Amino acid sequence: MSFFKRAHDIVQAKANKALDKAENPSEMLDLSYEQMLEQITKVRSALVQIAASRKQLELQEDQFAHTVSALAQQAAQAVQLGREDLAREALSRKAVAQQEVDALEPQHQTLLEQERKMTQTLQALQLRVTQFRTQKETLKAQYSAAKASSAVNDQIAGISGAFSGSADALQRAHDKIAAAQAHAGALDELLQSGVLEDVGVDHGDDIAKQLNQLGASAQVENELAALKAQTALVAAPPAALGPAPAAPAGAPEQVAP
């Protein structure tokens, strides 16, 4: 096998494969049916031609047979009239006409046989076309039903996939919520147990610790100074507090205890 022949076979195979994918069974069946109708038309045309040829040949045979019969009568009349020369000429022409009849007869039989075979072929083709038409419509209905079923199955598969995705999303959301609730519950338990006193404070920051300690020390010193001042005021004698205000005129004197 040459390189070009192999390349041609490969291209043809790929083309046929592409056609198989692109072919619509309904359209393919309709096309085959139309092709069969075209074959029937051709067979009918051939049958008509054969029949016409056979009919034309029969007319020629009839004409020659009539000529033979007429010449035979003319020869007989010539003999009765004593004209042997005319009788001889008539019989000579009669022999030629009979040869034509004899030559046309095999052709006539051949045309009859061809017409018979062509008629049988046409009848067989018509029967096949009738059967094919019935099968074609049945197959087209089955193909339409299969397409509809396939479309429904695709829709069902899509719906199932959508529900499956929704179920997965719900499960993921449920898992995240459960994880968040568990985390919050754990923190709450740790805070209540005292393990985590100040969750928001970074205990690893030394500067923050020192600032917090300075603030606490300053507050303590301030509170201590305030307490000392209050204690000093309470312990001081009255004189140290300054002269008593003068009593108003006419007011009774108060006796010191």
- With a CB cutoff of 8 Å and minimum separation 6, the contacts of 201 are 208
Mutual angle of helices 84-193 and 25-80, in 10-degree steps = 170
- Three-state secondary-structure class, residue 219: helix
Separation between Cα atoms, residue 180 and residue 182, nearest integer Å? 5
Q: How many domains does the chain have?
A: 2
pLDDT digit string, tens, across residues 29-70 = 888 888 889 989 999 999 999 999 999 999 999 999 999 999
Residue of 19, 24, 42 whose CA lies nearest to 129 = 42
Tell me what the pLDDT averaged over the chain comes to.
74
Question: Do both 98 and 216 map to the same domain?
Answer: no
State pTM to two decimals. 0.46
Does residue 177 fall inside a structural domain? no
Question: Do both 213 and 151 map to the same domain?
Answer: no
Does residue 121 fall inside a structural domain? yes
Return the residue matching tokens 């108060």.
Answer: 254
Q: Which residue range is the domain that position 218 belongs to?
A: 206-231
Does residue 252 fall inside a structural domain? no
Does residue 253 fall inside a structural domain? no
Cite the DSSP H helix spans in 81-205: 84-193
pLDDT digit string, tens, across residues 11-23 = 555 545 544 555 6
Separation between Cα atoms, residue 15 and residue 184, nearest integer Å? 67
User: Which helix or strand (DSSP H or E) is residue 53 part of?
Assistant: helix 25-80
| CATH code of the domain in which 141 resides | 1.10.287
Separation between Cα atoms, residue 73 and residue 87, nearest integer Å? 9
**Residue 215, token pair as written in the block:** 């603030």
